[in-house]
Amino acid sequence: MHNLASQRCFNHAQREAVARCPQCGHYFCRECITEHDDRVICAACLRKLVQAPPLRRRAFAGLAHGCECLLGLVVVWFFFYLIGEGLLALPTSFHERTLWKVNGWDQQ
């Protein structure tokens, strides 16, 4: 503890250090150090810890949103494609069936 007492705050050269940040290894005064998840951490490292997850989440959300848009486009495209196919297929199949029936009648 003598070692800690002789240390000065990383941000405030005049102040005595009360704790050492396990994240960056610097000594900090009572004002600069905070408790986070049952451990002491300096304000700078806390900011990094707090800011990191939302950034990742935002990036993931953007990615997910992009995927959703793409998926939506594919679904819409597929929907219209099916309608188009259905409209195209209906007369053809009717026509083919009629042809087959006519041929069948002709052959009999």
Q: Name residue 34's beta-bridge partners.
A: 41
* Binding pattern for the stretch 39-78 against Zn ion, x by CB under 5 A and - elsewhere: ---x--x---------------------------------
Applying CB under 5 A, the span of 15-23, 70-78, 84-92, 99-107 interacting with Zn ion comes to 15-23
Residues 38 and 24: their CA atoms lie apart, in Å, by 17
DSSP letter assigned to residue 17: P
Residues at the site binding Zn ion, with contacts judged by CB under 5 A: 9, 11-12, 21, 23-24, 29, 31-32, 42, 45
